[in-house]
Amino acid sequence: MSRFGLIGKNISYSFSRKYFSEKFAAEGIAATYENFDLQHIAQFPEILQKYDDLAGFNVTIPYKEAIMPFLDRLDTTAQEIGAVNTIKLEKNGSLTGHNTDYFGFLKALEPELEKQHQKALILGTGGASKAVIYALKVLGIEPQLVSRTGSKNAILYTQLSEEIIEQHKLIINTTPLGTFPQVEECPAIPTRYLGNEHLVFDLIYNPSQTKLLQLAAAKGAKVQNGQNMLELQAQKAWQIWNEE
């Protein structure tokens, strides 16, 4: 019996546990999947010491970057992205970090793209945004980060003018704002400037339509949540865990 799990904080809502538990039951796989809800990433080694049947982890907010110093190596993609959402326990006991978020996002986004989606606003600057940037560059889309504090790489929400919204027909939310149960929360973007040429992609999947997506849809924008991305990245994680 192999044990898999999700590393994160306040993750009772987790997609991963339900997805993999149902997969294991349906396919007769001798494995379990559980949430490892950590108040601090320093608790991670305790999990490794406690269980001797661990085979792999998924990693979610807020530890996609903080987990990296605890790993023995990163695959090339995870190293380039600078964030990890999948960990494989190798046969020799070492830990290898991977990133399947970029794969799930890319494959979920690609069918929705139209010719006007040449530039993207990425809301948030955490680990998920790094995977999104990587995927956008693969697709040849120019990314622009947006944050509450601003930096040399990010503009402020308060700088989002009608002109900037008009120039960026693709908007991606990588923040947790709007996740259940805080469903009335929303990134502070001027949705009044959105139109039917915009595509708004929210990585959140619970609820299925966040406040941001509701406001965007009301302006005629095309909207998509993170459910398909999650399923695709989970399938990729399973593939990695089972590679020899």
Ramachandran region of residue 70, left (φ > 0), alpha (ψ -120 to 50) or beta?
alpha
Residue with tokens 């040399």: 152
- Which CATH number is associated with domain 102-228? 3.40.50.720
In Å, how far are 5, 90, 187 from 156, measured between CA atoms?
36, 42, 12
pLDDT in tens, 18-39: 999 999 999 999 999 999 999 9
Identical topology for domains 2-99 and 102-228: yes
pLDDT in tens, 45-75: 999 999 999 999 999 989 999 999 999 999 9
Q: Indicate the pairing of strand 54-59 with strand 86-89.
A: antiparallel
The whole-number pLDDT of residue 14 equals 81
169 is catalytic: no
The whole-number pLDDT of residue 152 equals 82
- Amino acid type, 145: L
Catalytic residue of the set 64, 88, 130, 211: 64
pLDDT in tens, 202-239: 999 999 999 999 999 999 999 999 999 999 999 999 99
Domain 2-99, CATH number (from 3.40.50.10860, 3.40.50.620, 3.40.980.10, 3.20.20.210): 3.40.50.10860
Mean pLDDT calculated for residue range 118-144: 96
pLDDT in tens, 75-107: 999 999 999 999 999 999 999 999 999 999 999
How do the domains of the chain map onto residue ranges? Answer: 2-99, 102-228
Task: Pull the structure tokens for residue 123.
Answer: 């809301």
